[in-house]
């Protein structure tokens, strides 16, 4: 009995280890749950966010207009890119993005939006993004580098900062936000 169960376990691990190229996250349907109507409206649809074949983390210059002639998101120049997120990291980000509890739909802060970290979701030649501003804890969701909807994400600040530090370890600005942790 032990030999059979060990053989089955070994076979399962061998099958799970067989991946063809890439980061292991490309081409998979990353999110299959239901999305609250308010969240879907905020995202202007869940399609690209839910089924992205690749998610690229970026750091942007927080000054609007800094990306006029450079690669940018909503006019914020992309100053650094990290390697695409792993399937596990995408799942963490989607858990934040699709969670209704992440947002405060009843409050408007009226602060100047100066994002620092963004995530570019790609699917079949289309892009959507999430830009996170840590000075007022707001996130902007847009499509194809164009501006989108902005909402507060105070409830998920710790999770967003944790993921940002995971993909940009040692970043001085992010480290200051977490007290150097």
Instruction: Report if residue 130 sits inside a domain.
Output: yes
Instruction: Report if residue 14 sits inside a domain.
Output: no
* Residue of 35, 28, 78, 34 lying closest to 53 (CA atoms): 28
What is the domain-level CATH number for residue 126? 3.30.1490.410
What is the pTM assigned to this prediction?
0.80
What pLDDT is recorded for position 11? Answer: 35
The domain tally of the chain equals: 1
Instruction: Report if residue 48 sits inside a domain.
Output: yes
Instruction: Report if residue 63 sits inside a domain.
Output: yes
Instruction: Report if residue 71 sits inside a domain.
Output: yes
Instruction: Report if residue 104 sits inside a domain.
Output: yes
Instruction: Report if residue 2 sits inside a domain.
Output: no
Instruction: Report if residue 138 sits inside a domain.
Output: yes
For residue range 62-110, list pLDDT tens digits in order.
988 776 667 889 989 999 999 999 999 999 999 999 999 999 998 888 8
Name the residue range of residue 151's domain. 24-177
For residue range 3-24, list pLDDT tens digits in order.
444 333 333 333 333 333 333 3
Phi, psi dihedrals of residue 146, rounded to the nearest 5°: -90, 150
d(CA 23, CA 19): 9
* Residue of 65, 83, 82 lying closest to 74 (CA atoms): 65
């Amino acid at each position: 009995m032990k030999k059979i169960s060990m053989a089955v376990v070994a076979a399962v691990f061998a099958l799970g280890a067989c991946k063809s190229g890439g980061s292991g996250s490309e081409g998979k349907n990353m999110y299959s749950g239901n999305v609250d109507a308010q969240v879907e409206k905020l995202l202007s649809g869940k399609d690209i966010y839910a089924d992205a074949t690749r998610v690229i983390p970026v750091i942007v210059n927080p000054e609007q207009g800094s990306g006029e002639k450079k690669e940018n998101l909503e006019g914020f120049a992309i100053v650094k890119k990290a390697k695409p997120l792993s399937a596990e990291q995408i799942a963490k980000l989607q858990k934040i993005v699709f969670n209704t509890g992440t947002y405060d739909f009843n409050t408007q802060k009226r602060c100047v939006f100066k994002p620092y970290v963004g995530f570019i979701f790609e699917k079949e030649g289309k892009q959507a993004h999430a830009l996170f501003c840590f000075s007022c804890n707001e996130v902007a969701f847009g499509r194809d580098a164009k501006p989108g909807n902005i909402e507060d994400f105070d409830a998920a600040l710790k999770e967003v900062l944790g993921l940002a530090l995971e993909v940009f370890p040692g970043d001085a600005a992010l480290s200051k936000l977490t007290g150097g942790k």
